[in-house]
Amino acid sequence: MYRYKRPGSVLPNVVFALLIANGLGFALQNFFPEITGKWLALYSLNAGQYLDGAQFWPWQLVTYGFMHSTQGIYHILFNMLALWMFGREMEHVMGSRRFVTYWFVCVIGAGLTQLIVSVITGQPSITVGASGGVFGLLLAFAMTFPNRIIVLLIPPIPMKAKYFVLIYGLITLYLGFSGGAARVAHFAHLGGMLFGFLLIQYWARIRR
C-alpha cells in the first residue's frame, strides 16, 4: 500500500502536534467547561429541540475531535495511547502531509456519520473525542501491516492486526445496533473507518 520507512526514536511532527493539541483541549475543558461544551463539542442537528441552547456549528466537525469526556482521564488516555502507538508508524509510511489529511478526513467523516445517525434515529447527541480518527488509523495500520502482531491490553491476547481490526469493527457494529454502551458513539467510530477506507482507495486509484 505504501513504501515503508522505519520510524526513528523522535515522534513525527503531526502525531506530536495532535498529542499536544488534545492535551490543551482537555485542559481547556476543565478550566472553561461551559464555553468548550457549548461551542466546541459536536451537537446533532436536532439537539436544539431537546437540549436547551444546543446548536450545531460547522466548525464543531473539527473541534469535537480535540475534546474528550472530563469524567476521568480514561477517554483521552486510551485515544492518545492509540494515536502514539499506531500514528508514529503511519505518519512515517504516509508522510506528514497525507497523514494529517487522513486524520482529519476520518474525524470529520466520523462526525458526519454521527449527525446522520442522530437524524435517522431522532435521538439528539453531543459527541466529543478523537475516536473517529483513531478508528480510521487502526484501519490504515491493519491494511498496511495486516500480519503485524498486536497485543490487547484487556485481555492480553496477541493477534494479527487484520483480525484485531475486523473483530473490533464487528463488535462496534453490534453494539451500535443493539444499543449496548449507549453513551458511546459506535457509528461515529465506524464512520471514521469508512471514510478512511474511501480515502485510501482514492489514493490507490490516483497511483494506478
Q: In the 8-state DSSP scheme, what is residue 159?
A: E
**Does some domain include residue 113?**
yes
How many other C-beta atoms are found inside a 10 Å radius of the C-beta of residue 196?
26
In a domain? residue 2: no
Overall number of domains in the chain: 1
Residue 131 included in any domain = yes
Q: What does the block give as the cell for 200?
A: 485510501
pLDDT of residue 153: 66
pLDDT at 1: 43
User: What residues make up the domain containing 172?
Assistant: 13-207
Residue 100 has what pLDDT? 96
The helix or strand, by DSSP H or E, that contains position 160, with its residue range, turns out to be strand 158-160
Count, in order, helices (H) and strands (E) of the chain. 8, 4
Residues pairing with 43 in the sheet: 126
Question: Does residue 73 sit in helix, strand or coil?
Answer: coil
Size (the chain), residues: 208
Question: What is the residue-level pLDDT of the chain in tens, covering all 208 positions?
Answer: 444 445 544 577 999 999 999 999 999 999 998 888 889 999 998 877 666 667 899 999 999 999 998 888 989 999 999 999 999 999 999 999 999 999 999 999 999 999 999 989 888 889 999 999 999 999 999 999 999 998 876 667 888 999 999 988 998 998 888 876 667 889 999 999 999 999 999 999 988 7
Can you read off the three cell numbers belonging to residue 188?
Answer: 461515529
Q: What is the pLDDT of residue 10?
A: 59
CATH number of the domain bearing residue 48: 1.20.1540.10
| Predicted local confidence at residue 177, as pLDDT | 84
Q: Is residue 4 part of a domain?
A: no
Best CA proximity match to 127, nearest among 185, 87, 45, 208: 185
Cα dihedral: 47, 49, 50, 54 (round 10): 50
Residue 95: inside a domain, yes or no? yes
pTM (2 d.p.): 0.90
